[in-house]
Structure 1
């Protein structure tokens, strides 16, 4: 698929920034800690290139993921999947902060059920906020599954996810994801694995929306000129 244009990148970043704002508020309500979530970089790339853009394929990661289903005029269809990936170190750090616990030794610490639950809920909040904005652009209802958790080498996690929840996806939208929580900064990656038809629909819809906004802007400018002339 063709690389994203500058307009598409800016449009998607704007959509995700709206979702990030809602997610930041929801995480604050969940933890009582001031948080800011941001997506400073977005890229569309073939699935097979994802591991090299994130980390070494053999590096251990923690992932929360969920599948997405669309509904339009009573018809349901696959939209794709959303995945949140953190290095083992950053997953441990984020879980400790979310649970108000002391950050343990990264090398020997294993994620507990409470840690996993906190990471799953964070993924649920992030996806819910982002998908609300995406569904409005597409003009369809998007339903998400319950979040799930995986903890393994990066390549193994991605292979399992593609086979399980996004078998038709050929491209991935990758968002560099940053959490700023009080004095802590945590980096991760968010992936949207769209069904090919849905990704095509999204790109067409963004182009159409831009043309509509441009037309509206031009018409408003002419109205202002007409007022000044009169």
Structure 2
């Protein structure tokens, strides 16, 4: 049994609290950036297998916008923040006020790409800072990379490393609510994929014993 398989409801609640702290910090940063109130919340933290992960993003052939970063420090790993193209466009419109662009067909608008990458930078930094403080392990994000491609191609690298330990990943659901936008809140997913050697460092801090 892997560390992820050993997680209890208590540890999942702890991870959800980490997510809520991180989303609160990210909401503050986004509100300052947009100059109006933005709310973020984490309705659920889940453990999902490969097939469920792909279902969440619409299948391996589904086009997605993903901000990828490498987690560096004492417990390295990979992290993805995934949005559908429609959700990504909604967010960029909120950030830039521009309606005349698309992230679904190249060539992609440079302003849109910069806005999405900045969002990823803010969110990733907030989540990792919260997790680092919670488990008292140094974690730092690399420079985020924005990719728009098929889900299977984007997630392949992270899943390859994950498969050495488990067929599961930690998913942190994230809802971004811009109160000045009439559209429904933006729903995204954080995929947390620790490296094999990082599992004991993270999960033992959450009270999951080594197997």
Same fold, judged at TM 0.5 (above): yes
Q: Does 1:192 align with 2:189?
A: no
Contact 2:162 2:196 in 1 (8 A): no
Deviates more, 1:193-202 or 1:98-107: 98-107
Contact 1:162 1:169 in 2 (8 A): no
Instruction: Please give the per-residue CA displacement for 1:64-87, whole angstroms capped at 9, x wherever unaligned.
Output: 11001114xxxxxx5101111011
- Match in the other structure for 2:117: 120
Following superposition, the deviation at residue 201 of structure 1 comes to 2.3
Q: Does 1:137 align with 2:134?
A: yes
Distance 1:172 1:138 in 2: 18
- Aligned pairs, how many? 201
Distance 2:41 2:89 in 1: 20
- Match in the other structure for 1:85: 82
Contact 1:169 1:193 in 2 (8 A): no
Distance 2:100 2:42 in 1: 25
Instruction: Please give the per-residue CA displacement for 1:35-94, whole angstroms capped at 9, x wherever unaligned.
Output: 1111211112334542123322211100011001114xxxxxx51011110111111111
Change (3 A) 1:162 1:56: closer
Distance 1:193 1:90 in 2: 23
Deviates more, 1:179-188 or 1:57-66: 179-188
Distance 2:169 2:31 in 1: 29
Q: Considering only CA atoms, is the larger Rg found in Structure 1 or Structure 2?
A: 1
Change (3 A) 1:40 1:110: farther
Distance 2:62 2:148 in 1: 11
- Match in the other structure for 2:15: 12
SS in 2 for 1:196: coil
Following superposition, the deviation at residue 190 of structure 1 comes to 1.0
Instruction: Please give the per-residue CA displacement for 1:127-155, whole angstroms capped at 9, x wherever unaligned.
Output: 11111121123322212210101111111
Gaps of 5+ in 2: none
TM-score (norm 1): 0.77
Q: Does 1:101 align with 2:98?
A: yes
Runs (4+) off by over 6 Å:
105-110
TM-score (norm 2): 0.84
**1:49-64 alignment to 2 at 5 Å?**
49-64=52-67
Gaps of 5+ in 1: 72-77, 209-230
